[in-house]
Structure 1
Amino acid sequence: MGDATIRRPATPSPAERARTIAVRGGRAALMPTSDTSARVTPLLHHVHADGHATLLLADEHPLVAAAWQAPHGELGGVLEVADPTPVRLREPVRGLLWLTGWIRVLDRDEAREAALALSDERPDPRLLDVGHGASVLRTRTASLVVADGEGSCSVTPDDFAAASPDPFHRHEDAWLRHLELSHRDVVGLLVRHLPDELRGGHIRPLGLDRCGIRLRVEGSSGDHDVRLAFARPATTPESLGVELRRLVGCPFLTAHRR
């Protein structure tokens, strides 16, 4: 008899997960490859649908001068975007996205044009500082890596650009906070799907997407992220509600543990 095939729960593709982290924004850190120990927090960051990013730094920041003086006016660097957890957990990050590429400072006219374009896509009062104490930097992304409870995966810029973020990303955090604060009984019903060795831990809502719900189990031996898959991917809030009710009411669904 041959080896049994282990069927893993359906998950969004790495490119979809990367797009979802990018569009949610999160916290950003810029790390020039010339000094990987340096972590620069931009005044503002935005990852575009094509995988490139726009950043704001104070005019006097040393990285701005370093980019102007670099060969060809570009510095190698990595932009890290952290996806924070929707509720307060002892490890408050549920995913990371790294964009590796080249960073350059835009000249005055380019910076003004970029700020205007970004204000249409993502209005933000900090964009008013462009030309008045803030410089605009643009990253030209060559490769991406997404890391979360599903694993760590490389994503090409073409795959990133072709993917769409999860359809529920705008409401996910609010829904999960409501679940945490007002429906702990529902979270308790989900415990039945966990492996026996995790059932004694503290179960917290971590993520919700078209393919399922993610939980974090905080235990004495460490934290574990678990995905509970829906019977079929949800496409609307109504179908998402149906799948969640099915998951809560059916004891025969299985979990995949990281």
Structure 2
Amino acid sequence: MQPSPAEIARTLAAGHLPAVAHIACHPGPLPVRHVTDAQGRPLLLVPSGSTLTTALRPQPGNDDAALVLDVRDVPPMSSSPAIGRVWVSGWAARLTGDEARAAALDYADTDACGDLLDIGESQALYRMDVAEVRFERHEKLVEIDPDDYAEASPDPLRAVEFDLIADLADHHVAEMSDYVRRQLGAAARPGDEPRVVRLDRYGFLVRMGSRSARLAFPRPVTDRHDLAHLLHPILCRKCAA
């Protein structure tokens, strides 16, 4: 098993990666802080009076501004492959009152930053209604149905992927190497040292010299603690014995 394009798009857009906004009637992209709520709608945290606030000002006769949120993957390690890029298109409107307070709580679920306390003063919060989602990987562009995007969930390991891979590389090289060789059987070549280069809820990608292999977990994991429980028999020498 491996993530679907909709799941990867939700993971990329979740708010753990830098993003830029391409806004209608404004030249050039603008960096933007964002997360996504439970339905995958981007929430944009914008300094009041900034260039971004001006660019997001609706045109006469409109209540919102058209834009494209552009997010590229940043691999956790220099040896890790990128998982792609996502463009989320739609309309963003500034939130006020109860809507802004509720959205701030949604924002804090991903990024509990202090600027959320200044919404309505030095900060403004915008919510984007999603109209189109496009996912690119290996120069192949995939159109994702907005309903499929909304129903998918971001990968629960993405925010801690670097820590998990670093821990395996620092403390469990021998155990992981033995496990990978057992899984690959005759496909494992002598002299190739397996290294985990990507991790997600469905499994991990291992690089061995110039070759790569994806190994699946018995089931999708739900969080970091669930992953630790699943990997315990592999990483614990006594359990393996």
| TM-score normalised by the chain length of structure 1 | 0.67
Q: Deviations over 1:227-253 (max 9, x none)?
A: 4132744444344556899xxxxxxxx
Q: 1:119 to 1:24 in 2, by over 3 A?
A: closer
Q: Partner amino acid for 2:164?
A: W
**Residue 255 (structure 1) aligns with:** none
Look up the SS of the partner of 1:50 in the other structure.
coil
Q: 1:121 to 1:239 in 2, by over 3 A?
A: closer
Q: Partner amino acid for 1:57?
A: V
**Residue 5 (structure 1) aligns with:** none
Stretches of structure 2 that go unaligned for 5 or more consecutive residues are: 237-241
Aligned counterpart in structure 1 of residue 143 of structure 2, from 154, 162, 177: 154
- Kept in 2, the 8 Å contact 1:234–1:240? The answer is no
* Aligned-pair identity (%): 29
**Residue 8 (structure 2) aligns with:** 17
**Residue 229 (structure 1) aligns with:** 215
Shift in Å at residue 46 of structure 1? 1.0
1:206 aligns with 2:197: yes
Q: 1:177 to 1:103 in 2, by over 3 A?
A: same
> What is the rounded CA distance, in whole Å, between the counterparts of 1:240 and 1:165 in structure 2?
21
Q: 1:94 to 1:163 in 2, by over 3 A?
A: closer
1:98 aligns with 2:87: yes
1:84 aligns with 2:74: yes
> What is the rounded CA distance, in whole Å, between the counterparts of 1:24 and 1:103 in structure 2?
16
Q: Partner amino acid for 1:14?
A: P
CA RMSD of the aligned region, Å? Answer: 4.0
Q: Partner amino acid for 1:229?
A: L
1:73 aligns with 2:97: no
> What is the rounded CA distance, in whole Å, between the counterparts of 2:166 and 2:99 in structure 1?
40
1:26 aligns with 2:12: no
Shift in Å at residue 55 of structure 1? 0.7
Q: Deviations over 1:202-246 (max 9, x none)?
A: 976432124331246897xxxx9x44132744444344556899x
Q: 1:201 to 1:48 in 2, by over 3 A?
A: farther
- Kept in 1, the 8 Å contact 2:45–2:125? The answer is yes
Q: 1:130 to 1:123 in 2, by over 3 A?
A: same
Q: 1:216 to 1:70 in 2, by over 3 A?
A: farther
- Kept in 1, the 8 Å contact 2:175–2:235? The answer is no
- Kept in 2, the 8 Å contact 1:203–1:215? The answer is yes
Shift in Å at residue 163 of structure 1? 2.0
> What is the rounded CA distance, in whole Å, between the counterparts of 2:196 and 2:15 in structure 1?
17
Stretches of structure 1 that go unaligned for 5 or more consecutive residues are: 1-9, 246-258
> What is the rounded CA distance, in whole Å, between the counterparts of 2:98 and 2:202 in structure 1?
44
Q: Partner amino acid for 1:45?
A: H
**Residue 239 (structure 2) aligns with:** none
**Residue 38 (structure 1) aligns with:** 28
Aligned counterpart in structure 1 of residue 119 of structure 2, from 130, 133, 142: 130
Look up the SS of the partner of 1:73 in the other structure.
coil
**Residue 57 (structure 1) aligns with:** 46
Shift in Å at residue 167 of structure 1? 4.9
Shift in Å at residue 34 of structure 1? 3.5
> What is the rounded CA distance, in whole Å, between the counterparts of 1:116 and 1:69 in structure 2?
25
Shift in Å at residue 51 of structure 1? 2.0
Q: 1:156 to 1:54 in 2, by over 3 A?
A: same
> What is the rounded CA distance, in whole Å, between the counterparts of 2:109 and 2:216 in structure 1?
36
Q: Partner amino acid for 1:26?
A: L
Look up the SS of the partner of 1:128 in the other structure.
helix
